[in-house]
Structure 1
Amino acid sequence: MTGFELLPVATPGSTPVRVLTIAGSDSGGGAGIQADMRTFALLGLHACVAVTAVTVQNSLGVSGFQEIEPETVAAQIRTVTDDIGIGAAKTGMLASAEIIDAVVAQCAESGIGRDGSSPLVVDPVCASMHGNQLLADSALDTLRDNLFPLATLVTPNLDEVRLITGIDVVDVDSQRDAAKALFDLGPAWALVKGGHLRSCDHSPDLLYDGAEFVELTHRRIDTAHDHGAGDTLAAAIISALAHGFPVPDAVAFAKEWVTRGLAAAYPLGAGHGPVNPLWRVSGPY
């Protein structure tokens, strides 16, 4: 852990910082709310959850999923925020236009979002790493038009950038074009992740707030086991935001967290293993 300062942890018996993940479950335990909650716990935060869908998946892919009723998703958010309170929230798999609209309405009512008291990070999960579609085509417009303007930050990977903006990111120039296109959809900040930009020997992420670009680069980890990397990054970002970090600092913190998790990733089943935030308790990488 040399050179990397972790977040402060509450003393025993005192209430930790609270965060909320609004996302689907992963029965294989590598991504979704399971990845989020691992990161929250290992960073010393209390995790609250609004489940949007139950997936049937393992290390080889998603074979099915069941959506949760939109009213139930909204009720989970409302019940948690009314009683427990949260410092920040993130979205993951939202599955349908109806669920997205329910999340937008309830987050706005609960003060979650760029103009509220609790920052909101939108990880626009459109497809799994195996190529399985996790968001209906009809919901993409709802994601762009209704959820993005509520977001403090959006964090798409390059496949999601292509689906959302139509821009194929292949180099630094197209990455900047994509960041501008994402920002124009309404979030306060846009992050174009470069983990899938294989033409680079490093991992270049680009953050944009409409005025300036912030470039965040890190070593590329050579591993086939990167399941849940996007979820883990967004979870670490809101963990830092809930502690009062500015957005660029929160993203830089999360990028280091994920890089170390990738370095510690392990095989699981016959397919892709997960990012491993357990490096936090098993030793430095």
Structure 2
Amino acid sequence: MSTLTVPETIPSVPEDCEQLRKAFADRDPLLFWKKCDVDLKMILVVLWTLDPAERDALLANEATKRWTSSNQVLVEIACTRSSHDLLLVRQAYHARYKKSLEEDVAYHTTGDFCKLLVPLVSSYRYEGDEVNMTLAKSEAKILHEKISEKAFNHEDIIRILATRSKAQINATLNHYKNQFGNDINKDLKTDPKDEFLAILRATVKCLNRPEKYFEKVLRLAINKHGTDEGALTRVVATRAEVDMKFIKDEYHRRSSVPLDRAIVKDTNGDYEDMLLALIGHGDA
């Protein structure tokens, strides 16, 4: 005789998620992650139900073990979270893995990647709106000079991107475009196949227009060549409660197709249902 019973009223997906959040509170999420790597819905549920700092620590640790494209995950965490949130990620990482995030990033990366990523994950930026316009203008000139010289790994470029507040960087990039005629990312596209330049462009976009960055990740994840479930799951889990509305708006603007319709076309089953619930299927 089966011990499984179905309730008279089937819980909604958000209610299921809340129950799972409580159930996983005292479990080892990394162990669960390893065991259910073939169950997309459960990976999504585990990621979403984790505390944000714990989730980012898990994603960062997984990213340090891989190369190139995973460095963009480190850029996402370093550049789209607030300074306080990034500090909590570093603390969660230290508590879980008994070493610092900076230590692991330095160990697993080399050369220009290491030179950029270590200060990014170590950063604690000013979060206010105050901007020094004189500084913005002078640093826009510095950025243009170094990029024109193709000194993409220059310490001044890394210093500006890794230490200035997001408001200050935004002012600097606006000056850059006004003074020199191009968006900085266009000038950083001199070699589209250069992996370090791709990371630099991701850094700029994550700091300046995160909704544009995440829209592109989703657009590349949902395409005619097959779905990148890892990227789709990560973005939905980490941005659902942050800025998903803006990401959806940007996706619709760029693709002329609503994000929920694209997800329905490329996914199915419980995984599809969970994705749609988290992005706010049917929301205006």
TM tier, shorter chain?
0.3 to 0.5
Using structure 1 for the length normalisation, give the TM-score: 0.32
Higher strand share: 1
Q: TM-score, normalised by structure 2?
A: 0.32
Which structure features the higher share of helix residues? 2
Larger radius of gyration: 2
